[in-house]
A and B are shown apart, each in its own frame.
Chain A
Amino acid sequence: MSRAAIETTAEKPVALRIETILLGLALVGLLAAPFFIYPIFLMKMMCFALFACAFNLLLGYTGLLSFGHAAFFGGAAYFTAHAVKVWGLPPEIGILVGVLGAAVLGLVIGFLAIRRQGIYFAMITLALSQMFFFFCVQAPFTGGEDGIQGVPRGTLLGGLIDLHNEHNMYYFVLVVFLLGVVAIWRIVNSPYGMILRSIRENENRAISLGYSVQNYKLGAFVMSAALAGLAGGLKALVFQFATLTDVTWQMSGEVILMTLLGGIGTLIGPIVGAGIVVTLQNALATSEFPVTIATGLIFMICVLIFRRGIVGEIYAYIDRRKSAGN
């Protein structure tokens, strides 16, 4: 019995060990990166990576496909931009406003959508996020087609750190990004995360064990929305504007693509996926070749050939080699 226990406990965290090593390397790389690569590009990447991780908390670990996550991402960008520019709040409080706003929005959308499953759930989130999109088009505070422009980055900790300095901003984004990823890792590997997993694996069984699965799903939805809001608020400060682009349904689709491409239900998959998509967008931005065709092709290849996503396929390959070796 003890032998079996040792074997399997040694077997289980393979993915975890690789993720830890890769994350360590990535961290060193990220600390040094702004001296070699254009910081704005890196910050954009981290914002989208965090957005994809937040989305993956819902799809990968709870089994809910939301098609309306742009509402939380783009919504929070507006909230943060408004709080910082119009109310004159410091950036850290502004981001908090964005997170809270996204959480409340998530509570409303989640509460309505959670009553249905599968494709119906996805369609309701899409419909509600489209309603939010039209709200953003009409509402006076969003600036309509113009968006909110010239958002000041402000200073952190009551004037100590000036975020208009590109490197200061970069390290601030890095810290928030890491906190966000750690928070997601914690949620996934917590007693609550265990219940989410059991619901994903067998919802009826979870009900028959006395779990009010609707409440657990709603909890996960709100957390995912809040973390997507964290990414959105951060992005508003990085680019110093908030626009309609971030609340469109295309943005909801993009985050699905990033997560699928990297690997659903893996911690670093969405980060890898976001990195690839953002890099591609940047590379193609100046060329004649339309980005949407490139991402569309990638999506098709992903669905046809590597359904587990890049990171997911790598783990599966390691697993196969391990079991062949035994």
Chain B
Amino acid sequence: MSQTGHTRQAGEIVLSARGLRKDFMGFTAVKDVDLDVRHGNIHALIGPNGAGKTTVFNLLTKFFQPTAGTITLDGQDITNAPPAKVAQMGVVRSFQISATFPYLTVLDNVRVALQRPNGLATQFWRSMSALDVLTPRAEELIDAVGLSDARDRMAADLSYGRKRVLEIATTLALEPKVLLLDEPMAGMGHEDVGAIARLVKTISADRAVLMVEHNLSVVADICDGISVLQHGQVIASGDYASISKDERVREAYMGTDHV
């Protein structure tokens, strides 16, 4: 299903940013950010509140236009592509605030994502049953994240944790090359955190994942690489072991007591 047609090696760079910068009316939110997201890996973006993590997400998915710098996907420059186009090329994001379609059923939430790639989004003259062909695939995705029992419930009626899971199922429907997850475990109980961490790990086997996460034990557990952001700049990157030894990171983010 890979849209480029060639098989990727784990570790191959898929999404890459160089010298990324964003100014908001004189305030520099993000500055000189270099980032590589690799196939088969989970890369974590961590840092204190206001460090610019979500801004980086908005830049990579082109919800914001960078003031300077370049973004490439599979070596192709996407710095000036509109957000919908970037999504079509396979860079799909989740949002910090759970992003579902609240008054659609779980099934319809996932089917909406399947409609465009299957060429069933513009037919205004056909009946809704034209979408039935998408149901088996949608059910598969719903099943994969453990939402089968809620298939016909409104997304608005789901618990917070299950909404996030639905969001992941919806995102996976696009077979993304790169998945950007903005705090997928924020506000969740212990059990849910473990389940989502396992789900993200499974997902990352055949795609690249970039996630913003505050839960450091999760980051230590499942992430292959980490970039630490402070005041809009990357102050350290590497694996968890090297990051946790870095003095500046300890001061900026974790506090000197940690680890």
In the complex, A202 Cα to B88 Cα: how many Å?
Answer: 18
Query: A201 at interface (Cβ–Cβ under 8 A)?
Result: yes
Binary per-residue interface labels of chain A (167-209) against chain B in the complex, 1 for a CB within 8 Å, 0 otherwise = 0000000000000000000110111111101100110111111
State which of B92, B126, B152 has its C-beta within 8 Å of the C-beta of A209.
B92
Question: Inside 8 A of A204's CB, which chain B residues have their CB?
Answer: 63, 95, 99
List residues 1-40 of chain A with CB under 8 A from any CB of chain B: 1, 4-5, 7-9
Q: Are A208 and B83 in contact (CB under 8 A)?
A: yes
Chain B neighbourhood of A250, CB < 8 A:
none
Assess the A212–B152 pair: CB atoms within 8 A.
Answer: no
- Is the Cβ of A209 less than 8 Å from the Cβ of B124? no
A1 touches B148 (CB 8 A): yes
Q: Distance (Å) between the CB of B175 and the closest chain A CB? A: 11
For residue A213, CB closer than 8 A to chain B, the reply is yes
Residues of A within 8 A of B127 (CB): 186, 189-190
The answer to the question of B242 belonging to the interface, with a C-beta cut-off of 8 Å to chain A, is no
- Contact (Cβ within 8 A) A211 B93: no
Which one, B85, B116, B125, contacts A190 given CB within 8 A? B125
A202 touches B101 (CB 8 A): yes
Pair B104/A207 contact, Cβ less than 8 Å = no
Asked if A209 meets B87 with Cβ closer than 8 Å, knowing A5-B152, A197-B101, A201-B104, the reply is yes
Residues of chain B within 8 A (CB-CB) of A211 are 84, 116, 121
Inter-chain CA distance A307–B103, complex, in Å, is 18
Complex Cα distance, B100 from A205, in Å, reads 7
Looking at the complex, which one of B122, B151, B174 makes contact with A210 (CB distance below 8 Å)?
A: B174
B1 at the binding interface (Cβ < 8 Å): no
The contact of A205 among B95, B128, B149, by CB within 8 Å, is B95
**Complex Cα gap A4–B106 (Å):** 13
Chain A residues whose CB sits within 8 angstroms of the CB of B125 once the complex forms: 186-187, 190
Give per-residue flags for B171-202: 1 if the beta carbon is below 8 A from chain A beta carbons, else 0: 00010000000000000000000000000000
Contact A198 B152 (CB under 8 A): no
CA distance A7 to B151 in the complex (A): 12
Q: Which B residues are in CB contact (< 8 Å) with A206?
A: 112
Report whether B92 and A208 are in contact in the complex, using a CB–CB cutoff of 8 Å: yes
Find out whether the CB atom of B101 lies under 8 angstroms from the CB atom of A205: yes
* Chain A nearest CB, measured from B171 CB (Å): 8
| Shortest CB distance B153–A (Å) | 7
> In the complex, which residues of chain B have a beta carbon less than 8 angstroms from the beta carbon of A8?
105, 152-153
Task: Given A5-B152, A212-B84, verify A194-B99 contact (CB < 8 Å).
Answer: no
Nearest-CB distance from B102 to chain A (Å)? 6
A195 and B108 alpha carbons, distance in the complex (Å) = 10
Residues of A within 8 A of B117 (CB): 210
Asked if B115 and A194 sit within 8 Å, CB to CB, the answer is yes
Which residues of B (97-143) have their CB < 8 Å from a CB of A? 99-105, 108, 111-113, 115-117, 120-128, 130-131
Tell me, yes or no, whether B82 is within 8 Å of chain A by CB: yes
Partner of B128 from the list A194, A198, A208 (CB cut-off 8 Å) is: A194
For A90, list chain B residues within 8 Å (CB).
Answer: none
Q: Are A198 and B105 in contact (CB under 8 A)?
A: no
B61 touches A (CB below 8 Å): yes
Q: Which residues of the other chain, B, contact A193 by a CB distance below 8 angstroms?
A: 124, 128
- A208-B95, A209-B170, A210-B174 as given contacts; A190 in contact with B153, CB under 8 Å: no
Q: How far is the CA of A208 from the CA of B100 in the complex (A)?
A: 11
A26 smallest CB distance to B (angstroms):
22
Contact across chains for B112 and A198 when beta carbons are under 8 A apart: yes
Query: Cβ of A207: which chain B residues have Cβ within 8 Å of it?
Result: 63, 83-84, 87
Q: Which residues of A contact B84 (CB under 8 A)?
A: 207, 210-213
A/B interface sample: 21 pairs, CB < 8 A: A4-B149, A8-B152, A189-B127, A190-B130, A191-B120, A192-B123, A193-B124, A194-B115, A195-B115, A195-B121, A197-B104, A201-B101, A202-B102, A205-B100, A206-B112, A208-B61, A208-B92, A209-B174, A210-B116, A210-B117, A211-B116
Residues in B lying within 8 Å of A, measured CB to CB: 61, 63, 82-85, 87-88, 92-95, 99-105, 108, 111-113, 115-117, 120-128, 130-131, 148-153, 170, 174
With A207-B87, A210-B116, A219-B124 known, 6 other A-B pairs at CB within 8 A are A189-B127, A197-B101, A205-B99, A209-B92, A210-B85, A210-B87
